Amino acid sequence: MTGGASGIGRAIVLRFARAGARVAVVDVAEPAAREAASAVDSHKGTALPLICDVTRSGDVDQVIATVGERLGPVDILVNSAGIAHVGTIEQTSEGDLDRLYAVNVKGVFNCMKAAIPLMKGRGGVILNLASVVASVGVPDRFAYTMTKGAVLAMTYSVARDYVTHGIRCNAIAPARVHTPFVDGFLAKNYPGREREVFDQLSRTQPIGRMGRPDEVAELALFLCSDAAAFITGSNYAIDGGFVTLKM
């Protein structure tokens, strides 16, 4: 579970652990990864915090090997690690583009490339966190949109290439979800107007609010479970009607 220390990733870690999974909390932020693992342990689950920069293939390979040694075979890979950038193409520097590509695209590539050989012959599930921006235009999200479109395309490609190997690969496409990132973004960019802007962003979902990380985690658990054994190569919107009800 990459990006498992906070936000949606942390919620998925906790939900999978409650369902009986042995979870590797893979994140670049060591204190937060350890805290998430401790939260699992306090509920009598099994979690292993592992510090990893997903942009580095060597780090990823080492983490995958450690998971195999400490937790057993890799049955499920959830790629949740990701970063954001606000701006149009004119407001996006080459450095911004490279930074988002390294984490959001190359990071997903590195993790799938390391895990797939271990899944071939015995089966497995890969779940990638995409976004509604892969399907519709959202203002001021050029670089983020580029990366999440790539995540969705990689999902389809891997699903097709490895379906005969018993590997399922799907994506989840959330709209706005209330995470610590949202609170930090509002505090930085709209000091004193946090509540006002939060309400504005909430209303962009036809359902009238942002999603909750635990709601995304429930969908993730289903897609990675045997109950979804007939589902691969699919992209599941969890967006309060953002895509279909606003078009």
Where along the chain do its domains lie?
7-175+211-238
Distance from C-alpha of 245 to C-alpha of 105, rounded to nearest angstrom? 29
Give residue 247's pLDDT band: very low, low, confident or very high (50, 70, 90): low
Which position among 144, 156, 162, 236 bears the catalytic label?
A: 144
Distance from C-alpha of 66 to C-alpha of 64, rounded to nearest angstrom? 5
Minimal CA–CA distance to 21: which of 50, 42, 1, 51?
1
For every residue of 63-123, DSSP letters joined together read HHHHHHHHT-S--EEEE-------B-GGG--HHHHHHHIIIIIIHHHHHHHHHHHHHTTT-
For 150, which DSSP code?
A: H
Whether 144 is catalytic: yes
Give residue 44's pLDDT band: very low, low, confident or very high (50, 70, 90): confident
Give residue 46's pLDDT band: very low, low, confident or very high (50, 70, 90): very high
Residue 84 phi/psi, 5° resolution? -125, 165
pLDDT in tens, 140-193: 999 999 999 999 999 999 999 999 999 999 999 999 999 988 998 899 889 999
pTM of the entire predicted model: 0.95
pLDDT in tens, 182-192: 998 899 889 99
What's the average model confidence in pLDDT over 218-230?
Answer: 98
Give the domain 7-175+211-238 fold.
Rossmann fold (3.40.50)
Ranking 74-83, 210-219, 238-247 by mean pLDDT, the lowest is 238-247
